[in-house]
Amino acid sequence: MVNFKALEKIIENTMKSNPVKNPLDKLPDILKQNLDKNLCICNEVVKMDIINAIANGATTVEMVRNQTYAASGNGCCTRQVERLIEYLCSKEL
């Protein structure tokens, strides 16, 4: 069970270190679902951990992989990580 207060704290800390007020604001509603679930099943990496890595400067799958170990198993989540990078690194809000 994920502690949503802890997730809010993570988002708050991300907002302090990142010019984006809230990285979740850049995501469509469909990508805001299941933030507390594993996006990377192989290495049990929660979607919010990947979002935080991107919000804190990871701009490639390799950078996300180095910070979170996501997409370093069989790579089945690579496209999902790329999609998050596309939205979160876009200039438009």
- Domain range spanning residue 25? 4-88
> Is residue 93 one of the residues assigned to a domain?
no
> Is residue 14 one of the residues assigned to a domain?
yes
pLDDT average, residue stretch 50-69: 96
> Is residue 16 one of the residues assigned to a domain?
yes
pLDDT average, residue stretch 62-79: 94
Q: Would you state the pLDDT for residue 28?
A: 94
Q: Which helix (H) or strand (E) holds 54?
A: helix 47-55
> Is residue 12 one of the residues assigned to a domain?
yes
Q: Is the pLDDT of residue 75 over 70?
A: yes
Exposure of 84 by Cβ count < 10 A (0-12 exposed, 13-18 middle, 19+ buried)?
buried
pLDDT in tens, 4-55: 677 666 666 655 554 557 889 999 999 999 999 999 999 999 999 999 999 9
pLDDT average, residue stretch 73-87: 94
Q: Would you state the pLDDT for residue 21?
A: 72
- How many helices, marked H, and strands, marked E, lie in the chain? 4, 2
What CATH number is given to the structural domain containing 75?
1.10.10.1100
Q: Is the pLDDT of residue 64 over 90?
A: yes
Q: Would you state the pLDDT for residue 19?
A: 52
> What's the total number of domains in the chain?
1
